[in-house]
């Protein structure tokens, strides 16, 4: 049986946080351990430069996110693990797809629309501060996915629209030039795919409301203590479905542990107690990886070597695909 291609990326614009782990890293590593698939995981640094112009931060984030993948158990010999910018064919494909993607489709992208809304709210020009890179972000994502003909894309719920756009662009291309691309599908883990951040909005680097995946135990405790709760006292029954603590708990807990906490909420567990339990659960599941992670940060040459090996696997595939794509659109030798 043909092995489905699984592909996902993480934008390298900040330090890895619990949301990255739950939404992308963990489901991707779990999927890569199943024998019958073929996985592509990458560091989306071309996407990162849309979000920040801080070049040091991009480089540091690339090291941190790559180290996190490896520390959490990704086996780079079993998958193709690479840095997006090591594969220039992806940006070439992105331009080609730009000539296919409808502007009206991209006008509807949530990230672009919310940037426009924010401008209007402060009576600015609607496109103030919005680069073509931000507007075209979904097209580059489509290129990431279609470059390797990925069919399964594990992502957080917030990225589903982007995968649908990639499908739409692939369909248009296939219609115009003949079947070239498989149509990708988003895979989301219903329970946990987007975590809520400290302030109640989606956990995201962009909102500065994240809990870092790797920090000292004391820092982790402090972050967890910052999670927003309400004024209910110990002894008063609490609604698990309205609690960030319960949501993060469920992302890390077994089913039994989740049921245990659901009951504890009903029975009026105090917020302090719930936070202590949450700390122990998260700390317990990250303790080993944390040590490896901090060791890897001090060995950037090892990470660089892993990424070089990855691009040696990915690049020839990309080169042979782009050659065919160029030919099918008419960019080819004259005789």
- What is the spatial distance between Cα 169 and Cα 181, in angstroms, rounded to a whole number? 10
At 81 the three-state DSSP class reads: strand
> Is 71 a binder of ligand TRP (CB under 6 A)?
no
Q: In what order do the strands lie in the sheet with 80-83?
A: 80-83, 38-44, 5-11, 152-154, 185-187
To ligand TRP, the closest distance from the beta carbon of 252 in angstroms equals 20
**Site map for ligand TRP, 171-190, x if CB under 6 A?**
--------------------
User: For tokens 């060995």, what's the residue?
Assistant: 299
Contact between 306 and ligand TRP per CB under 6 A: no
Q: End-to-end distance of the chain based on CA atoms, in angstroms?
A: 38
- Cβ nearer to ligand TRP, comparing 140 with 244: 140
For the CB of residue 32, give the shortest distance to ligand TRP in the complex, in Å: 14
Tell the smallest beta-carbon distance from residue 9 to ligand TRP (Å): 4
Q: Residue 212 CB: number of other CB atoms within 10 A? A: 16
* Residue in 58, 141, 289, 322 binding ligand TRP, rule: CB under 6 A: 141
Among 22, 44, 72, 195, binds ligand TRP (CB under 6 A): 44
Which residue in 45, 64, 144, 247 binds ligand TRP (CB under 6 A)? Answer: 144
| Whole-angstrom distance, CA of residue 172 vs CA of residue 167 | 9
139-169 CB burial, b ≥16 within 10 A, e <16: bbbbbbbbbbbbbbbbbbebbbebbebbbbb
> In the bound complex, what is the minimum distance in angstroms from residue 93's beta carbon to ligand TRP?
12
Q: Where are the beta strands (DSSP E) in the chain?
A: 5-11, 38-44, 80-83, 152-154, 185-187
Can you tell me the distance from the alpha carbon of 229 to that of 114, in angstroms, rounded to the nearest whole number? 27
- Least distance in Å: CB of 261 to ligand TRP? 28
Cβ atoms of 321 and 173 within 8 Å: the answer is: no
Whose Cβ is closer to ligand TRP: residue 39's or residue 243's?
Answer: 39
- From residue 4 to residue 43, what is the string marking binding to ligand TRP with x (rule CB under 6 A)? ---xxxxx--------------------------------
Looking at the Cβ atoms of 45 and 247, the one nearer to ligand TRP is: 45
Closest to ligand TRP by CB, 28 or 325: 28
Rounded Cα–Cα distance for residues 265 and 243 (Å):
10
Binding flag, residue 66, ligand TRP (CB under 6 A): no
Q: Which of residues 147-166 bind ligand TRP (CB under 6 A)?
A: 153, 155, 159
Is 94 among the residues that bind ligand TRP (CB under 6 A)? no
Nearest residue (CB) to ligand TRP, 145 versus 282: 145
Nearest to 18 by CA among 279, 148, 177, 212: 212
Footprint on this chain of ligand TRP (rule: CB under 6 A): 7-11, 44, 47, 141, 144-145, 153, 155, 159
């Amino acid at each position: 049986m043909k092995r489905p291609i699984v592909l996902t990326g993480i934008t390298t614009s900040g330090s890895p946080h619990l949301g990255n782990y739950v939404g992308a890293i963990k489901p991707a590593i779990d999927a890569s351990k199943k024998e019958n698939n073929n996985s592509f995981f990458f560091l989306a640094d071309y996407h990162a430069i849309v979000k920040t112009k801080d070049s040091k931060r991009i480089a540091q984030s690339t090291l941190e996110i790559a180290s996190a993948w490896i520390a959490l158990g990704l086996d780079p010999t079993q998958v193709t693990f690479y840095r997006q910018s090591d594969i220039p064919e992806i940006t070439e494909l992105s331009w080609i797809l730009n000539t296919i993607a409808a502007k009206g489709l991209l006008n509807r992208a949530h990230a672009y629309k919310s940037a426009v809304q924010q401008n209007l709210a402060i009576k600015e020009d609607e496109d103030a501060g919005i680069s073509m890179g931000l507007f075209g972000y979904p097209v580059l994502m489509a290129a990431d996915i279609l470059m390797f003909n990925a069919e399964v894309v594990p992502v957080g719920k917030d990225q589903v629209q982007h995968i649908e756009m990639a499908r739409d662009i692939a369909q248009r291309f296939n219609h115009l030039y003949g079947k070239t691309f498989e149509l990708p599908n988003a895979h989301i883990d219903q329970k946990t795919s987007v975590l809520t951040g400290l302030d109640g909005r989606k956990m995201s680097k962009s909102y500065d409301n994240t809990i870092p995946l790797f920090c000292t135990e004391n820092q982790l405790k402090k972050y967890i203590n910052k999670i927003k709760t309400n004024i209910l006292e110990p002894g008063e029954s609490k609604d698990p479905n309205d609690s960030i603590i319960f949501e993060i708990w469920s992302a890390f807990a077994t089913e039994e542990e989740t049921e245990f906490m659901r009951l504890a909420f009903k029975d009026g567990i105090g917020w302090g107690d719930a936070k202590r339990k949450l700390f122990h659960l998260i700390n317990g599941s990250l303790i080993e990886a944390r040590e490896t992670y901090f060791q890897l940060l001090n060995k950037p040459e090892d990470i660089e070597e892993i990424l070089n090996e990855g691009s040696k696997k990915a690049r020839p595939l990309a080169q042979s695909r782009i050659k065919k794509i160029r030919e099918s659109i008419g960019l080819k030798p004259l005789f």
